[in-house]
Structure formats: C-alpha cells, structure tokens
Structure 1
Amino acid sequence: MSMTIAVTRNTPSRFNGFLASCMQEIAPGVYVAPTMKKSVRERVWRVMMDWNELLPDDAGVVFFWRNPDAPSKLSIRLLGWPKKEFVEHEGLWLTHRDLTEAHDVEELLEQGEVEEPSIDEDDPTLPMLEAVEAP
C-alpha cells in the first residue's frame, strides 16, 4: 500500500464525487489516500477511464503514487489534461512540451551558449557534494 494522490481539473462532478468517496479531498480537486491498496487504485483508475469520454477538452486527472521501480520512484497516469508529455531521463520524470510563440527562442538559444563559471576549489559546498556522490 502506498500514498495515492489524484489531482483534477475542470472534471464533471461525477469524477469529484467518486474520488471523494474513496479518497480524502484536502483541497479543491486534490484527493489523497495515505494507504491505498493496488487493487483499489486499479479499480478507481478503471472507473475514471470508463468515464473518459465525459471530460471536456480542458479537463483531466493526474493520478500518482510511490513506486520504487519507476522513474523518480513515482508512477504517473494521465487522463485528459495536462497536454504535456512525461519523459523518463536518467531515472527521473521530466515534463516536456513544445515551444510556442510565447517562448523567446532567441533568448533560449543565447542562454544555451552562456559559459558557466569554473568551479572554485575553495567553495565550501564542494565537500558536501563529494559526500553526496560517494557510494
């Protein structure tokens, strides 16, 4: 059993009522179950999948729980919104979305060419970093 969290956005009241019947609503659209069995979690997800066609374009559910074998030790399921892609990279989940006209592409390219300062050997944080990296 692990903590399970569901976050909804613009979902029909059927979704909210169902989630509230099996999880605690701790904030508007945020539901938690501190110890939800896998079988219960799978059943809840199947019900929401069955109702998928009822979701408007700007609605959706993000469902996640602790999973030691998943990237970032977190399993994620999406239904509807958000229109983002989760990509596993080096054992972590990253959120990817395409650039839009709102992004200043030239500024992003300039930032990619900025040279980072060299590491100062006298930096007091270096021993902490080495200790963290050591096996």
Structure 2
Amino acid sequence: MAAVLASMLSTTGTSHASAGDDRTTPTASPLVLDAAAPICPAGYVCLFVDVDQKTGGYMWAAGAYHSNFTQLPCEPGWKCKTLGDFNDEASSWHNNTNRTYCVSWGINGGNPDNSMPPGTYGNFTTTGWNDEASSIGFIGCP
C-alpha cells in the first residue's frame, strides 16, 4: 500500500504552478489526527473530509500543491462519499502557512477558486464549496 500511495503522490501536475515555480512535483502526506497534537502542524495547509477539521484528510507543506485529488485515496474511516478517492470530499480546511492557498473545482486548477488566506481555518459548508475541491495550490489564487 505504501508503495502504491508513494507512486500516486509523485505524479507531476500543473495545478497552480508557473514557470518560476521550483516545485514541480505535487506532494501530500496522509493527515493523522492525534488529540495531543495540533490538528494542522505549523507550516502546512490541510484539507479534511469532515467539518471543523475532523476525521481525516491531507496536509501539504508550504510551497507544495496537488493538481488531481482523484489520485489521492480516501483512507478507511474517513467517511468519504465518493468512489474511494479524495476528489470532491473536502469539507473544511486549516491554512497554517504564511502564504495564500486556494482549492479549485477543476482538476489541474482553474476557475472557480476558493482562497484560504494564511493563518485561517474554516468550513467549506458555509461558502458553497463543500465537497467540491479537486486540486490545491498557491499560485494565482484570488
């Protein structure tokens, strides 16, 4: 399973990247929730399956992005509603980085985008974005 996950996460994508971006490989690590640890560590942006930053999801280090959430599996116990991947599953976020991030409805980015300013967190259920995110990035966010 770990080799399969590593293979899926190392796929090169184009979401929110530019010619000047030195990070060309989208990366993600499964987010493990621990009551004794911060929900989303400093220096990461996190997306969660449930509201209020609960259940499970993925976290990306500042400067990382991912262009296609269909490549990210939904782990057992995450209460995913789709066919086993993270596409259209995010219900909340925590941006614990120093840069603005955005999620897009489209795979490989594109409009519309929903911005998540540095140091913010919230529920997509209050913005019309619940279960809509298909990619995440930081370049070109509104």
TM range (shorter): under 0.3
TM-score, with length taken from structure 2: 0.25
TM-score, with length taken from structure 1: 0.26
Greater RCO (CA < 8 Å, at least 6 residues apart): 2
Specify the structure having the higher radius of gyration (Cα).
Answer: 1
